[in-house]
Amino acid sequence: MIQPRTQTAEYWGSKFTLTEADIEQIYNHFIEVERPQTAVELTRVIITFRVADETNQVKKRLSGRTIYQPQSSFKVGDELVFPALQFTYGTVTAVRDGHNPQEGPFRVITIDFGDKAREFVADLKSPHVLNATEGNALAELVDVDIDQVMAQHGSQIIAKLTTEMQSRQEFVHLGQEWFVKGLMAEVNIGHLHLTEAVLEMNNGGPLPVSEILPHLDMDPSLRPEVLSFSLNYALLQDGRFDEVAPKGQVAWFLRRLEPEGVQQTPERLRYSPIPYDRALLSPQLILLERELDDEWSELEPPPAQQLVVFTLLFPHRHAGVIPLSARIRPLLPPSSSPRQRIILVDDETNEEIQAWVVQQERYVYGLSDWYTRHEIPIGGFVHLRTGPEPGVLSLGYDRRRSQREWVRLATAVDNHIHFELKRRSVGCGFDDLMIVGTDTIIAVDALWRRAETQQRTMASLLAEIFPQLAQLNPQNTVHAKTLYSAINLLRRVPPAPLFAELVRHPAFQPVGDHYWQFDKSRWQES
């Protein structure tokens, strides 16, 4: 069988490179179809071109020549083509008798390839793998399965094609689609101003370009796909506009009309990384870190879950956000946009809440009213579930009949934090170790700003908080989860640096089951 080079792994392997002829084919393809194309579509163009080019080259080599087959007879002056030698051709310069008792009589021909001469067998009576009709040889050559080449080598070719096109300024891409700059529609400053006005009339958005384009006076002779691509590309370059749809969709929002908590990260959520020695954490503390699932803990995402329950922390309750943690992140539709608009649906009332995913700062904004209306406490259990479509999630909490519970409440006394136990009506399931609230948010905020201004260390904050919490327990012990919840009233701290500080400092003594005691006699800030 004659296997075309374009259907071999070697041809498309590590040595495969794109040529100027390939790029020219891509240009011609864009001109022909007059619309943006994906890298997959362009890769198929390259493969089809290469296969056709090889076929044409072989047909040229076969023109006026004979395919070499060991069973055939040849004479001096015949021009032969050798498919097994990548269709190299040469001229018969000599013919002589051959001798091999096992093969019977045959002839030996000498072929001049220009730079060298080689001998081949002819008039061979015994079967040979190279014997075939000329028509079959050509049919085998042109019978290349493009789908099979795509399946086996497509990903490698796509990667190389993408790299090559990214290096050329004449090509532009949005998501998975590519186009040529010279074929794009003109989008001028007037079109951008009109787009801003359209979004403003629609409360900022989100709107796809299909709903914006009818308001713009753009070239009607161009395909809708070209107009959409061109406008999307122009909006992406303009800081006034945010692309806020899930991956695979495109919708635009007017940046200045986004909520303040989306444009600027709420102060209580800002985390400045705290250096610590992770080797100090025992396997048990690492398990506790995973249980708490703080968004600033560097945890590997667990297996995909349809339902995630998280415990509300003070900074999240204060700012009205959901933490974008390792367990919660997979529930959200993938997106390459820094800000994404989603819909949260209350699983009890079907109320729709417009929320915003702020990827880099790791939070989902827009829950403040919902938390307040349902009186969800610090330490309360909130749950999220995948929704019926991308960009929609189901939201709820551990609803129960309201009853009075003992709750830790923080207050400010002489510029220091103070904790006391008081009864409060709670209508939500909660983690008893993490329920830490306050009736004096303004005073607690003042303590937080004071701690920030003084650049207080985590150790000094722990030394202030620990005795206050310990006095609420007859054993004078405090659980690590309680410390984690409480210290976040004064500073944004994920579990790992806190746990490492408890282990490192001799004033904090473990007493089992993640409970700790504070030995004031051993306290010295370091």
Over residues 299-328, the mean pLDDT reads 93
Q: In the structure, what pLDDT confidence band is assigned to residue 521 with cuts at 50, 70 and 90?
A: confident
Can you give the pLDDT at residue 136? 55
pLDDT winner (highest mean) among 58-67, 127-136, 345-354 = 345-354
Has residue 394 been placed in a domain? yes
Query: What's the sign of the alpha-carbon dihedral 463, 469, 474, 479?
Result: negative
Has residue 348 been placed in a domain? yes
Can you give the pLDDT at residue 30? 94
Task: Kindly report the average pLDDT of the chain as a whole number.
Answer: 90
Can you give the pLDDT at residue 426? 92
Over residues 255-266, the mean pLDDT reads 95
Helical ranges in 276-366 per DSSP H: 283-292, 314-319
Q: Are residues 395 and 410 in the same domain?
A: no
Over residues 250-263, the mean pLDDT reads 94
Helix (H, G, I), strand (E, B) or coil at 121: strand
Q: Are residues 27 and 160 in the same domain?
A: yes
Question: What is the dihedral angle through the alpha carbons of 205, 208, 212, 214, rounded to the nearest 10 degrees?
Answer: -140
pLDDT digits 0-9 by tens, 443-455:
999 999 999 999 9
Q: Are residues 188 and 165 in the same domain?
A: no
Token readout for 323 is: 């933490």
* Integer-rounded Cα radius of gyration of the chain: 36
Has residue 81 been placed in a domain? yes
Over residues 213-220, the mean pLDDT reads 92
Q: What pTM was estimated for this model as a whole?
A: 0.77
Q: Are residues 10 and 100 in the same domain?
A: no
Which range among 168-172, 299-303, 305-309, 500-504 shows the weakest confidence by mean pLDDT? 299-303
pLDDT digits 0-9 by tens, 133-162:
555 555 555 567 788 888 888 899 999 999
- Supply the CATH number for residue 109's domain: 2.30.30
Cα–Cα dist 119/126, whole Å = 18
Q: Are residues 112 and 240 in the same domain?
A: no
Q: Are residues 80 and 95 in the same domain?
A: yes
- Final residue in a domain of this structure, among 231, 257, 283: 257
Q: In the structure, what pLDDT confidence band is assigned to residue 103 with cuts at 50, 70 and 90?
A: confident
Query: Per the omega criterion (within 30 degrees of 0), is the bond before 206 cis?
Result: yes
Cα–Cα dist 213/194, whole Å = 10
Over residues 231-235, the mean pLDDT reads 95
Can you give the pLDDT at residue 301? 84
Has residue 97 been placed in a domain? yes
- For residues 63 and 343, the model is more confident at 343
pLDDT digits 0-9 by tens, 263-280:
999 999 999 999 999 999
Query: What's the sign of the alpha-carbon dihedral 91, 116, 53, 128?
Result: positive
Can you give the pLDDT at residue 1? 44
Closest CA to 18 of 180, 169, 164: 164
- For residues 55 and 20, the model is more confident at 20
Cα–Cα dist 108/225, whole Å = 64
Residues in the chain: 526
Query: What's the sign of the alpha-carbon dihedral 291, 295, 298, 303?
Result: positive
Over residues 505-516, the mean pLDDT reads 94
Which range among 197-201, 289-293, 412-416, 485-489 shows the weakest confidence by mean pLDDT? 412-416
Amino acid at 267: E
424 burial class (0-12, 13-18, 19+ CB within 10 angstroms)?
Answer: middle
Q: Are residues 243 and 300 in the same domain?
A: no
Give the percent of the chain with pLDDT over 90.
Answer: 66
- Supply the CATH number for residue 226's domain: 1.10.10
Over residues 104-110, the mean pLDDT reads 87
Over residues 166-175, the mean pLDDT reads 90
Has residue 305 been placed in a domain? yes
Neighbours of 156 (CB within 10 A): 15
Q: Are residues 127 and 227 in the same domain?
A: no
Task: Tell me which residue range forms the domain holding 481.
Answer: 405-424+431-522
Can you give the pLDDT at residue 489? 95
Over residues 395-407, the mean pLDDT reads 92
Q: Are residues 225 and 361 in the same domain?
A: no
Give me the number of domains the chain comprises.
5
- Supply the CATH number for residue 342's domain: 2.40.330.10
Over residues 37-49, the mean pLDDT reads 92
Can you give the pLDDT at residue 524? 79
Dihedral class, residue 379 (left if φ above 0, else alpha if ψ from -120 to 50, else beta): left
Q: Are residues 167 and 212 in the same domain?
A: no
Q: Are residues 29 and 99 in the same domain?
A: no
Has residue 220 been placed in a domain? yes
Helix (H, G, I), strand (E, B) or coil at 9: helix
Has residue 252 been placed in a domain? yes
Can you give the pLDDT at residue 283? 95
Q: Are residues 326 and 385 in the same domain?
A: yes
Has residue 160 been placed in a domain? yes
